Amino acid sequence: MKALKIDLNCDMGESFGAWEMGNDLAVMDYVTSVNIACGFHAGDPGIMRKTAAAALQKGVKIGAHPGFQDLQGFGRRNMDVTAQEVYDLCLYQIGALQATVKALRGKLHHVKPHGALYNMAAKQPGLAEAIAAAVKSADSDLYLYGLSGSCLIAEAEKAGLKTFSEVFADRTYRNDGSLTPRNEPNALLENLAEIEKHVLRMADEKKVVCADGSEIKIKADTVCIHGDGKNALPIAMKLFEILI
């Protein structure tokens, strides 16, 4: 059974300097929203502008993708931060992309935290509240994308923000609804047929089979593809075919 129409998002703009547009531009034809790195974990002002301009040209919704200031670790390493620091780093990065998109005569649609910041906020209400507060301060009309069933979604809803509950096309889950850490076996899905089955189950049946074989309920407003994945384009093409 074909799934209902659903948002398909991809993390983009995660390079530096002389941008090779190829993969990002190709993937943009098969997604409905993009999350653009804001310079902390990846990206730079020029990359932000070029990526946002391409998204506007293609009619794709634009989101800010703030992360920890950790270029070497690509924002995927946990950091010891306060809620105030999280508020400040999110507001700073959202504002940077917000200004860039405005200069291009566009409008920011959403915010999706990146990497370790995303995963920490999924479990820690204080950090989730800080992110929601930063989004609301920047623009209360912005959507906040967060892990389905997480603290981030709960705190965003408490703050009165619009939310998209996110699921991942290429990641496996633990039975508490969290993502299997990347450094553990079977954390990533790479087989296209397996990914299709995984996504359709989440979108149609609102269920996910976890890495341990158990099954839990899940809400899927948007499906994420990682733009830095080696199979990003074929995954995007297949999911666009079955979901959009």
What was the pLDDT predicted at 231? 87
Per-residue pLDDT reduced to its tens digit, 49-73: 999 999 999 999 999 999 999 999 9
User: Strand, helix or coil at 111?
Assistant: strand
Spatial contact of 182 and 172, defined as CB atoms under 8 Å apart = no
Residue 3: what pLDDT?
A: 45
pLDDT at 183: 86
* Predicted TM-score (pTM) of this structure: 0.94
Write down the pLDDT at residue 167: 97
Task: Mention every residue, 6+ apart, whose C-beta is less than 8 A from residue 20.
Answer: none
Tokens of 29: 């034809």
Q: Decide if 33 contacts 236 (C-beta within 8 A).
A: no
Contacting residues for 11 by C-beta, under 8 A, at least 6 apart = 34, 35, 37, 65, 112, 114, 224, 225, 226, 227, 228
Query: Residue 231: CB partners within 8 Å, gap ≥ 6?
Result: 170, 190, 192
Q: Can you list the domains of the chain with their CATH numbers?
A: 7-243 (3.20.20.370)
Is residue 44 exposed (0-12), middle (13-18) or buried (19+ Cβ within 10 Å)?
middle
Among 203, 137, 129, 138, which Cα is nearest to 146's? 129
Return d(Cα 106, Cα 126) in angstroms, integer. Answer: 32
Alpha-carbon gap, residue 171 to 119, rounded angstroms: 13
pLDDT tens-place string over residues 77-120: 999 999 999 999 999 999 999 999 999 999 999 999 999 999 99
Residues of the chain with pLDDT under 50: 1-3
Query: Which positions ≥6 away from 14 have C-beta within 8 Å?
Result: 37, 41, 42, 43, 74, 227, 228
